[in-house]
C-alpha cells in the first residue's frame, strides 16, 4: 500500500532548454526524491519566462529539450504531472484576481525582485516582472499547494503567496490553504569558471554531454592558480575540480585531497579522474535522454496528458473561487 503523502507541492522552471549539472544538483535530484514523499506537480513556467525576455520563438523547443532531461533523470509523469503554464488558462485568470489584493508598494519591497533587477542589469522594470510573485502565488494556490520547498533567497516570494491566500480567504471565503515554507539547502554547483553555472555564459556541463565532451570541458576548468606543474603542492579546499570530486567522486576524495596537497597528483590527471566520475554519474540518464530527444512527439504527449490532469484540478479550484466571489 502506498504511504500517505506529506502534502502537495508545485515545483517548476522556466523553459531554458537542455539541463546542466547545476540544474540536476540544485533541483532535479531533489524532485525525484520528493516524488515518493509528496504529491508533486511540475510546471513549465513559460509565462514567467516572458517577464525578462518577450521573445517566444524558442520556447517550445526549449520546453521539449528540458522535459526530455526531466524524464531522463527520473521524473515520473504518471506520479507527477508535467504541464505548461500557458496551456492552463486558469493561471492567468487567478493571477488577475490576485493582483487586486496586493499593492504595488508591497511588491516593490520584495528583496528577491531587487536582486533580480541588479543581477540582470535591468534599466527599467516591466509590469509583468513586478507582478512575478503574484503569478507565482496563482501557480501554487491553483493546485492548493500546502508546502513550498525553496532556498532562503526565495522565501520572500512564498510570504507574498501566504499574504494573498490569507487576504483572499478573509475577503471572500475559505478556499486556499496557507502554504508552509519548506526551507531547503539547494546545492550550488559552480560553473567551469568558478562562477554561477549558466548556459548563457558557456561554463556548463550538460546532462546530455558524452564523456569525451565532458573531458574537453573539464580540461578548461579553473584550478588552484598556485599549482602550476605536477609536484607543486596544491590547495584542494579552494579548487573547483575538487568541489566536483566531492559531489561526484566521494569515495576517492580523501586520497585526492592528500595527493593534491603533497603534489603527487597533477591537475591534468585529477581533471581526467573528475571527468570520468561525472560521466559515470550521469550515464544512467544518457540513453533515456537520447531517446526522448529523438522522440519529441512522446514528450509532447507527456505534456498534454499532464495538462489535462492539472487542468482538471485548476478548473475545480477556479469554480470554487468564482462561487465565493459571486462570479459564477
Examine the residue annotation and report whether 196 is marked as an active-site residue of this protein.
Answer: yes
pLDDT for res 148:
84
Question: In Å, how far from its chain's centre is CA 154?
Answer: 12
Within a domain: residue 90? Answer: yes
Within a domain: residue 257? Answer: yes
- From first to last of its 328 residues, the chain has per-residue pLDDT tens of 455 678 899 999 999 999 999 999 888 998 998 888 899 999 999 999 998 889 999 999 999 999 999 999 999 999 999 999 999 999 999 999 999 999 999 998 888 777 777 766 666 788 998 999 999 999 999 999 998 877 666 777 789 999 999 999 999 999 999 998 877 665 688 999 999 899 888 999 999 999 999 999 999 999 999 888 888 889 999 999 999 999 999 999 999 999 999 999 999 999 999 999 999 999 999 889 999 999 999 999 999 999 999 999 999 999 999 999 999 7
Same domain, 157 and 248: no
- The total of other beta-carbon atoms located within 10 Å of residue 245's CB is 24
Q: How far separated are the first and last CA of the chain, in Å rounded?
A: 39
Same domain, 122 and 271: no
Same domain, 243 and 133: no
Same domain, 174 and 317: yes
Question: Looking at the 3D structure of the chain, how many domains does it have?
Answer: 2
DSSP 227-246: --STTS---GGG-HHHHHHH
**CATH number of 39's domain:** 3.40.50.620
3-state SS, 97-115, equals HHHHHCCHHHHHCCHHHHH
Same domain, 223 and 248: yes
Question: In Å, how far from its chain's centre is CA 94?
Answer: 23
Same domain, 278 and 307: no
**Which of these is catalytic: 5, 199, 261, 288?**
199
Same domain, 306 and 218: no
Within a domain: residue 87? Answer: yes
Distance CA 193, CA 215 (A): 15
Within a domain: residue 163? Answer: yes
SS3 206: strand
Examine the residue annotation and report whether 288 is marked as an active-site residue of this protein.
Answer: no
Examine the residue annotation and report whether 199 is marked as an active-site residue of this protein.
Answer: yes
pTM, 2 dp: 0.91
Q: Which domain holds residue 97?
A: 8-190+295-324
Q: What are the CA-CA distances from residue 211 to residues 272, 273, 278 (Å)?
A: 10, 11, 8
pLDDT for res 120:
66
Within a domain: residue 120? Answer: yes
**Which of these is catalytic: 79, 89, 196, 258?**
196
Same domain, 281 and 301: no
Same domain, 221 and 171: no
Query: Do the Cβ atoms of 131 and 91 come closer than 8 Å?
Result: no
Same domain, 279 and 305: no
pLDDT for res 1:
45
Amino acid at each position: 500500500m502506498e504511504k500517505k503523502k506529506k502534502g502537495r507541492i508545485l515545483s517548476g522552471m522556466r523553459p531554458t532548454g537542455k539541463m546542466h549539472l547545476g540544474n540536476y544538483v540544485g533541483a532535479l535530484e531533489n524532485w525525484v526524491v520528493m516524488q515518493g514523499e509528496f504529491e508533486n506537480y511540475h510546471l513549465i513556467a513559460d509565462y514567467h519566462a516572458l517577464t525578462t525576455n518577450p521573445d517566444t520563438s524558442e520556447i517550445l523547443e526549449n520546453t521539449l529539450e528540458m522535459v526530455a532531461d526531466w524524464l531522463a533523470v527520473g521524473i515520473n509523469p504518471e506520479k507527477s504531472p508535467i504541464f505548461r503554464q500557458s496551456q492552463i488558462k486558469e493561471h492567468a485568470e487567478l493571477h488577475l484576481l490576485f493582483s487586486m489584493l496586493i499593492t504595488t508598494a508591497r511588491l516593490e519591497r520584495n528583496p528577491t525582485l531587487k536582486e533580480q533587477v541588479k543581477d540582470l542589469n535591468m534599466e527599467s522594470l516591466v509590469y509583468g516582472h513586478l507582478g512575478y510573485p503574484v503569478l507565482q502565488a496563482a501557480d501554487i494556490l491553483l493546485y492548493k499547494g500546502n508546502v513550498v520547498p525553496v532556498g532562503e533567497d526565495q522565501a520572500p516570494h512564498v510570504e507574498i503567496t501566504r499574504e494573498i491566500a490569507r487576504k483572499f480567504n478573509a475577503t471572500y471565503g475559505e478556499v486556499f490553504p496557507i502554504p508552509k515554507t519548506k526551507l531547503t539547502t539547494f546545492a550550488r554547483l559552480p560553473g567551469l569558471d568558478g562562477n554561477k553555472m549558466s548556459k548563457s555564459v558557456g561554463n556548463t556541463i550538460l546532462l546530455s554531454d558524452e564523456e569525451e565532451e565532458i573531458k574537453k570541458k573539464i580540461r578548461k576548468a579553473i584550478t588552484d592558480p598556485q599549482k602550476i606543474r605536477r609536484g607543486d603542492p596544491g590547495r584542494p579546499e579552494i579548487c573547483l575540480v575538487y568541489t566536483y570530486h566531492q559531489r561526484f567522486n566521494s569515495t576517492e576524495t580523501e586520497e585526492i585531497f592528500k595527493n593534491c596537497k603533497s603534489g603527487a597528483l597533477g591537475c591534468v590527471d585529477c581533471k581526467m579522474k573528475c571527468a570520468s566520475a561525472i560521466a559515470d554519474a550521469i550515464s544512467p540518464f544518457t540513453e533515456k535522454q537520447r531517446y526522448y530527444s529523438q522522440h519529441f512527439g512522446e514528450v509532447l504527449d507527456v505534456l498534454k496528458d499532464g495538462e489535462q490532469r492539472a487542468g482538471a484540478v485548476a478548473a475545480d479550484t477556479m469554480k470554487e473561487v468564482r462561487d465565493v466571489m459571486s462570479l459564477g
